[in-house]
Amino acid sequence: MSDSYVILDRDGVINIDSAGFIKSPAEWLPIDGSLEAIALLNEHGFKIAVITNQSGIERGLYDLAALAAIHDKMRQLVSAAGGGIEAIYFCPHGPDSHCNCRKPKPGMFLTFASDRGADLKNTYSVGDSIRDIQASMAAGCRPLLVKTGNGLQTIQNNPQLNVPIFENLYDAATHIISTS
Ligand SMILES: [Mg+2]
Ligand SMILES: [Zn+2]
Q: Give the start-to-end residue ranges of the domains of the chain.
A: 4-179
Residue 1 in this model has a pLDDT that exceeds 70? no
How much distance in Å is there from the Cα of 11 to the middle of ligand 1? 4
Length of the chain: 180
Query: Of 3, 11, 17, 72, which one is the catalytic site residue?
Result: 11
Give the percent of the chain with pLDDT over 70.
99
20-49 mean pLDDT: 98
Cα 1 from chain centre: 24
- The ligand minimizing its distance to the Cα of 34 is 1
Q: What share of the chain is helix, strand, coil (3-state, %, to 5)?
A: 40, 20, 40
How much distance in Å is there from the Cα of 107 to the middle of ligand 2? 8
Residues 46, 144: Cα–Cα separation, whole Å: 16
Fold of 4-179: Rossmann fold (3.40.50)
What are the tens digits of pLDDT across the range 70-85?
A: 999 999 999 999 999 9
Residue 110 in this model has a pLDDT that exceeds 90? yes
Residue 117 in this model has a pLDDT that exceeds 80? yes
Residue 180 in this model has a pLDDT that exceeds 90? no
Residue 92 in this model has a pLDDT that exceeds 90? yes
Q: Is 11 a catalytic residue?
A: yes
Ligand 1 ion: Cβ-proximal residues, 5 Å cutoff? 9, 11-12, 128-129, 149
Q: Is 96 a catalytic residue?
A: no
Q: What is the pLDDT of residue 105?
A: 98
